[in-house]
Structure formats: structure tokens, C-alpha cells
Amino acid sequence: MGYLTVKTVEEVNGILANFRIKRQVEKVKIFEGLNRELAEDVYAPISLPPFNRSAVDGYCVNWEDVAGASESLPIFLKVVGNIEMGQKPKGQLEREQAMVVATGSMLPEGANAVVMVEETERLAEDEVAIYSSVACYENVLVEGEDVKKGELVLAKGTKLTPENISLLAALGITEVEVFQKIQVGILSTGDELVEVGEEAKLGQIYNSNGPGLIAAVSSCGAIPRYYGIIEDDFNVLKESLEKAVKECQLVILTGGTSIGTKDYVVKAIDGIGKPGVLVHGIAIKPGKPTIIGAIDSTPIFGLSGNPFSALLGFRLFVQKLLAPSKEIFVKGKVARNIPSTGGRQDYIPVTIVKKEDGLWLNPLFSKSNSIGVLSKMDGLLVIEAASEGLEAGQIGKVMLKEGINDDLFK
């Protein structure tokens, strides 16, 4: 099994960039839309504010009527009403008149400014003294100043954050079209595996890639569909893979550690449809035996059975398609010399310590990068293919592990 066609990470990223996962569209209520991606451009059906509103508690006026008003030379206006919150004003404001408004009250026609209550004195039921002049539209939120009716407010592809949902609600929009969540098929292989919850006999190990990838897929906002542990038999593998490709928009298969199974995966993918296997071997460590292919628009990833390598492969390649924004890098100084073989990208698990002079990266060397390291590390130091390692004190780039950004950005 030679990797005659080993590709660089850049080549693989170029292939991934051309993948177009087919996505259906569905309507969701905005309350259920968190983190979904808009499948339509959203235009404002109304203006915001939808009418002139007062920004303060006070008296609405015609600004020209109070020009020159001051503490020593107040101007007196006739109070002709009270605009209740949420009510349409009864009638319009004539010159030399004022109406009581609260913050948020709709202004009547004829009013173009509001004097804050602190700058006034109510002399009688129908009379108020104004102690301060105001500019035109002072203390007024003018209809459409925030959002204009018909304006594009959220473009197709935008992720619905709380801020965006708040905006949709303000516009009176109850439902939006979003892309359906991507369904991701997960298949485990390995005759030594048993599912967690069953009894592992001596010689067997628990399947950790199944649960790990189910969680990783969910964490990317996609829907995991788990197909279980697939028997190490070519026909069984091909049938299972074919089923998953039919039912999902992306498929991940882990394992193939036993003799021959790696070839099964390549043969199965090529046997199901076109374009078939596109990548067989990548110049990274760990993760060299990664397989990437596609049937029509459905990408298929054949990841290592080693849990550390499987999750790294997920983060590096699958996540790039499902949730690219989850990939966060930080820079720090390496605390020790870290050798690396040129010609391949190396991923070294590190812990990160925040010191006075910035972040320091401590490599976690272990004989085999295995699952225990996943809980101990804070991220993976990337050593580029062109580099032969880093010396202590040099700057390195770390891909953060999920959930490890707590204090590093403060």
C-alpha cells in the first residue's frame, strides 16, 4: 500500500474548496433559527423606527416655537394632550402647542422635536414652561433612520445570531428560509471494536470514534447519522457506504486498520460512483492515510481509526466544509526545541500557558498520539511542510482545541 499520490495540505484544501454540498431549503420560525444560515436575502418590510418616536420623556413641540428659550427666558406652550405609549396620537400638533410624551411614544404630525422633562416646568393642566431650545429632530428617532423599508438587511448565507434574530423580530418577520442542516453519515470499521455500553472482552476496545464524531458533527450544526460498526468485509462495507451516501450529504468512515481494509475503502468509493477517490494520502503527521472522495456532490472522508488522528482529520478537513469559522488559531512561543521532518505538515499537541510576555506553548511528546492526549492538550501546534522544526522561543501557530479559548483572548 504505497501512497504514490500523497497530496500536500494545500492541494487537499484546493479540492475541498471545490466541493459543493447539495443543500435543501426550509422555512423556520425565527425563534428556532439560531445559528442557521439564511437561504434568502431579507429585505425590510417596514422602516425602523416605523414612525417618529421620542427618545426621551418630555414634551413634543415644533422646534421653531421654542427657539431662544432659556432658564431666564422660558417660552410658554399650551399642553393639549398626553400621548400614551403604543397609542396613535389623537390629532396633530398645532403651533405654540405641546404634548406629553414618554420615551418611545409616537410623535403627532406637526411635532419635530422633544424637550426633555428636566428642561420644563408644568405650570397648569394646560400650560408648560420650556427652559431650553432644541434643534430640529432633537430627541427624536426619525422614521426609517435606523432601517429603511425595502433595504437589504440580511444577505443570503448570513448566520442567524441573536443580534440578527432580534432585528428580524423588530421588522415583524416571523419566518425565514434557511438551508437545511447537513446530514452527516458516520461509519466505524474495525473488528476489534465494541460499542460503549456493551461488554469489551479481552482483545476488544470501545469504539470512541463513533461518539466523538457524533459530537463533533453536532457541534458544527450538522445532523449526525450513525451507521454503527461495519464488518470488515468488502461487500458489507460497500453496501453500508452506498446507503449512507444515498441518505446523507456527507459521509465519514473511520478505521480500516486491519490488513486490506484500507484498500476496501478506496475500492468501495470508486465502485459506487463518480468522481470517486480524489485523495489517497496527505503529507501530514498524523493523518497520512486519509482518504477523500466524492459521489456526485456528496463528499466522503476515510479517516484513521486512531481517535487522535480521526478527530484531527475531522477538524482539518471535514470541519472546513461544515463550519469553517470553528477553526481558531493563536500564536505563541514554543517552550522547547521541536524537531520536524520537512516535506509534511506536523501537528504537535501542546498545552498553552499565559504569561506576562504572552502565550507559551509546551509540546506534549508521547510515543503515540493517542486518545489520552486529547484531554490533556489545549491545541495543535502546526509546523509547516517547509519547516524543519522550531527552536525554543520561536513563534508557533496553534489550532485551538474546541472550548479552549476562555482566557487566551482577554
The residues pairing with 60 across neighbouring beta strands, listed in sequence order, are 99, 114
> Residue 35 Cβ, how far from a copy of itself at the closest point, in Å?
7
Considering only residues 179 to 198 of the shown chain, the ones binding a copy of itself according to CB under 8 A are 190-194, 196-197
Q: Is residue 114 involved in binding a copy of itself (CB under 8 A)? A: no
Considering only residues 306 to 345 of the shown chain, the ones binding a copy of itself according to CB under 8 A are 307, 311, 314, 324-325, 327-330
Residue with cell 469559522: 325
* Nearer to a copy of itself (CB atom), residue 92 or residue 366: 366
Considering only residues 200 to 219 of the shown chain, the ones binding a copy of itself according to CB under 8 A are 200-216, 218-219
Stretch of 241-249, 291-299, 382-390, 395-403 contacting a copy of itself, by CB under 8 A? 395-403
Which listed residue (157, 172, 228, 339) binds a copy of itself by CB under 8 A? Answer: 172
Among 167, 179, 166, residue whose Cα is nearest residue 38? 179
Among 185, 174, 155, residue whose Cα is nearest residue 39? 155
Which listed residue (73, 124, 274, 375) binds a copy of itself by CB under 8 A? Answer: 375
Q: Round to whole Å and give the CA distance between 302 and 151.
A: 45
> Residue 276 Cβ, how far from a copy of itself at the closest point, in Å?
25
Q: Round to whole Å and give the CA distance between 108 and 301.
A: 64
Q: Is the peptide bond before 286 cis (omega within 30 degrees of 0)?
A: yes
* Nearer to a copy of itself (CB atom), residue 176 or residue 272: 176
* Nearer to a copy of itself (CB atom), residue 80 or residue 214: 214
The site map against a copy of itself for 284-303 (x = CB under 8 A) is --------------------
Which listed residue (174, 297, 341, 394) binds a copy of itself by CB under 8 A? Answer: 174
Considering only residues 5 to 24 of the shown chain, the ones binding a copy of itself according to CB under 8 A are none
Element (H, E) at 17: helix 9-17
Q: Round to whole Å and give the CA distance between 25 and 107.
A: 42
Stretch of 8-16, 17-25, 102-110, 275-283 contacting a copy of itself, by CB under 8 A? 102-110
Structural contact between residues 217 and 224, judged by C-beta atoms closer than 8 angstroms: yes
Which listed residue (67, 123, 169, 395) binds a copy of itself by CB under 8 A? Answer: 169
Return the C-alpha cell found at 179.
438551508
Q: Is residue 348 involved in binding a copy of itself (CB under 8 A)? A: no
Residue 396, exposed/middle/buried by CB under 10 A (0-12, 13-18, 19+)? Answer: buried
* Nearer to a copy of itself (CB atom), residue 6 or residue 194: 194
Stretch of 20-28, 128-136, 271-279, 360-368 contacting a copy of itself, by CB under 8 A? 360-368
* Nearer to a copy of itself (CB atom), residue 96 or residue 146: 146
Considering only residues 21 to 60 of the shown chain, the ones binding a copy of itself according to CB under 8 A are 30-31, 33-35, 48-51, 53, 55, 57
Q: Is residue 402 involved in binding a copy of itself (CB under 8 A)? A: yes
Q: Round to whole Å and give the CA distance between 355 and 373.
A: 23
> Residue 55 Cβ, how far from a copy of itself at the closest point, in Å?
6
Amino acid at 64: E
Stretch of 5-13, 71-79, 164-172, 384-392 contacting a copy of itself, by CB under 8 A? 164-172
> Residue 266 Cβ, how far from a copy of itself at the closest point, in Å?
17
Considering only residues 229 to 258 of the shown chain, the ones binding a copy of itself according to CB under 8 A are 232, 257-258
Indicate the SS3 state at residue 216. Answer: helix
Q: Round to whole Å and give the CA distance between 217 and 311.
A: 11
Q: Round to whole Å and give the CA distance between 39 and 162.
A: 17
* Nearer to a copy of itself (CB atom), residue 274 or residue 410: 410
* Nearer to a copy of itself (CB atom), residue 355 or residue 409: 409
Q: Is residue 106 involved in binding a copy of itself (CB under 8 A)? A: yes
* Nearer to a copy of itself (CB atom), residue 96 or residue 200: 200
Considering only residues 122 to 161 of the shown chain, the ones binding a copy of itself according to CB under 8 A are 141, 145-147, 153-154, 159-161
Q: Which long-range contacts (CB under 8 A, 24 or more apart) does 397-403 make?
A: 397/329, 397/330, 397/331, 398/329, 398/330, 398/331, 398/332, 398/350, 398/352, 398/361, 399/315, 399/327, 399/328, 399/329, 399/347, 400/328, 400/329, 400/330, 401/374, 401/377, 402/219, 402/326
Element (H, E) at 120: strand 120-124
Residue with cell 427657539: 67
